[in-house]
Structure 1
Amino acid sequence: MPSAKAVHHEQLATGASAERRIVELARNRDLYMRKHHSPAAARAVRWLTAWSYALRAVAALALPGRSPRRYWRHALAALMPARGQGLREAANEYNRAQPGDRRDT
């Protein structure tokens, strides 16, 4: 049996799922904060998280192999966690496409 090695740098995924993972991460972070902390704390975490990703986006302009666009997308998702399509929508699309799916009928 040949061996395989998977390397994930900074939990990054490529392809269409990467954008959905960014949205889902922001949604889940915001849900946790709203559920277990105050609305003010949730807002503060949204802004502080967005700020940290914005700084990374600026740094990525000078660092080879880093995507400023990706960090900027994280910043926007942190500020607006309800916006965009996440993994939940991908799962719903997949399930609707399966034969015999009767949940939407």
Structure 2
Amino acid sequence: MRKAILLIQSSIAFVLLLLLTLLFIQPAWASVCRNYDDRQICIISIERSAKNYWEYRVAISVDGVTRPVEIYNCRDRLIQQGKKVLPFGDNDPGDLSCSLLKNRR
């Protein structure tokens, strides 16, 4: 009987220790980073448009500077920043984003 009580107590202690260990584990960041034209570009978040499969709402950071969410139109190679619509520039982060997210049908 005494051995059973000791076994239960040690099991409870092990579970508590495991739970305490898990409390201090940092969450994983799932950003995709690439070196592109001497810049580090990280895709922080991305959402594909339900209506237009070639459009993505993307939050990126370029060399550690986070940009606001932009809409990348990969078909027409346009970036929508708020109410402004701009074409992709030379070596634009949009090129990298669209190449990583190509429609694979």
Q: Same fold (TM over 0.5)?
A: no
Smaller-chain TM-score bracket:
under 0.3
Asked which structure has the greater CA Rg, the reply is 2
Q: Which has the higher contact order (CA 8 A, sep 6+)?
A: 1
Hey, which of these two has a bigger chunk of helix by percent? 1
TM-score by length of 1: 0.25
